[in-house]
């Protein structure tokens, strides 16, 4: 069947032509180049292998091999991925940073950015094109892995498979990928070398991963002990600060939208939990939030946090990039 007869290829060709002819899509050729370049890199292959191993191979072993005979009940299929939001909240940012930190700063170092800017593109076109192109490359990889995971679960779970759970989990995971693609691209645009952009992006992520939660809890305790702030207020401040972490916002959104048995108050209360000794604080937080969850701890606000971590670094990076001498 020729491309002219194939309806799918004809549709894709029509969409491609429409976008190229749009006055708002001067960045579209950059998107196509970025996507084509990235999809052929080893980074995509490594990412695919990691996700195939963790999200596809492990469920196959657990469900269909003698090693996982205790996990063969359909009711246990969902438990195979119950920890995946925590895993994804680490792997996705690392992958996004690895995909993007050289996007602009690396080309500035090599001098290839001057060649790109000699073409009829603005610096805004470069930012938008690289954002969409890099995001589509990682999103395409993730979508393929997610489809394979569903196909693995389907024979065992049958009609009991929780498609609603998976669609929400995967949708939020794609948003998390966009968040850190934008964040890392902002760092790349703001710095002159790839090494500096990696230091900025990786350094901030490591702080978010290892220290942000402790800093939030310490701030709440400090206000309660030395500023005479009420216990209920200090807990709300701690929860708010923790929710400003995009990986925590992602985890909270996944818990809230995929766990029908947990209330928003319960999910937020779990954010103060740090082990057995924190059980009392978690119950205290739940009692405070059970009546009404403040807007700054709500699911919509958590979603705004995710988007803000994409948009704000991009805006800062663009301003610095726009005024930089290449």
Distance between CA atoms of residues 76 and 71, nearest Å: 6
Name the pLDDT band for 184 (thresholds 50, 70, 90): very high
Q: In this predicted model, which residue has the larger pLDDT, 34 or 76? A: 34
State percent of the chain over pLDDT 70: 79
**pLDDT (tens digit per residue) in 48-99:** 888 888 788 877 777 777 755 554 444 455 555 555 788 889 999 999 999 8
**Do 123 and 315 form a contact (C-beta atoms < 8 A)?**
no
pLDDT, residue 75, reads: 44
Between residues 311 and 57, which one has the greater pLDDT?
311
Residue 250 has pLDDT above 60, yes or no: yes
Q: Note the pLDDT tens digit of each residue in 211-227.
A: 998 998 889 889 888 88
Q: Looking at the predicted structure, is the pLDDT value of residue 133 above 90?
A: yes
pLDDT digits (tens, 9 = 90+) for 16-33: 666 666 666 778 889 988
* Residue 98: other Cβ atoms inside 10 A: 17
Backbone φ, ψ for residue 65 (5° rounding):
-115, 160
Predicted pLDDT of residue 158? 65
pLDDT of residue 207: 96
pLDDT at 312: 97
Average pLDDT over residues 310-324: 94
Whole-number pLDDT of residue 79: 55
Q: Which residue has the higher pLDDT, 28 or 316?
A: 316
The predicted pLDDT at position 275 comes to: 44
Backbone angles phi, psi at 262, to 5 degrees: -100, 135
- Confidence check: pLDDT of 187 > 60: yes
For residue 287, pLDDT over 80 is answered with no
**Residue, of 166 and 79, whose pLDDT is higher:** 166
- Model confidence pLDDT, tens digit, residues 104-122: 999 999 888 888 888 888 8
Least confident stretch, 124-128, 160-164, 199-203 = 160-164
pLDDT at 209 over 90: yes
Res. 205: pLDDT tops 90: yes
Phi, psi (degrees; rounded to nearest 5) at 204: -65, -40
């Amino acid at each position: 069947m020729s491309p002219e007869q194939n309806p799918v290829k004809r549709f894709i060709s029509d969409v491609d032509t429409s976008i190229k002819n749009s006055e708002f899509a001067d960045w579209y050729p950059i998107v196509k180049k970025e996507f084509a370049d990235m999809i052929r890199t080893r980074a995509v292959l490594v990412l695919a292998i990691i996700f195939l191993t963790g999200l596809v191979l492990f469920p196959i072993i657990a469900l269909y091999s003698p090693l996982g005979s205790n996990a063969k009940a359909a009711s246990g299929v969902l438990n195979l991925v119950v920890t995946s939001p925590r895993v994804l909240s680490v792997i996705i940012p690392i992958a996004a940073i690895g995909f993007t930190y050289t996007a602009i700063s690396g080309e500035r170092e090599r001098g290839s950015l001057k060649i790109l800017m000699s073409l009829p593109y603005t610096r805004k076109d470069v930012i938008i094109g690289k954002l969409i192109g890099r995001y589509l490359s990682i999103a395409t990889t993730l979508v393929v892995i997610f489809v394979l995971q569903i196909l693995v679960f389907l024979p065992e779970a049958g009609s009991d498979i929780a498609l609603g759970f998976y669609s929400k989990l995967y949708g939020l995971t794609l948003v998390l990928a966009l968040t850190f693609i934008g964040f890392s691209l902002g760092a790349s645009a703001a710095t002159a070398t790839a090494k500096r952009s990696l230091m900025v992006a990786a350094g901030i992520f490591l702080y978010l991963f290892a220290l942000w939660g402790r800093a939030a809890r310490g701030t709440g305790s400090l206000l309660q002990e030395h500023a005479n702030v009420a216990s209920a207020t200090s807990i709300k401040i701690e929860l708010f600060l923790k929710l400003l972490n995009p990986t925590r916002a992602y985890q909270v959104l996944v818990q809230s939208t995929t766990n029908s048995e947990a209330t928003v108050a319960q999910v937020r209360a779990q954010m103060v939990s740090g082990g057995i000794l924190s059980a009392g604080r978690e119950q205290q937080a739940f009692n405070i939030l059970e009546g009404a969850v403040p807007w700054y701890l709500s699911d919509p606000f958590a979603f705004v946090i995710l988007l803000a971590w994409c948009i704000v670094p991009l805006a800062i990076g663009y301003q610095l990039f726009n005024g930089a001498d290449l």
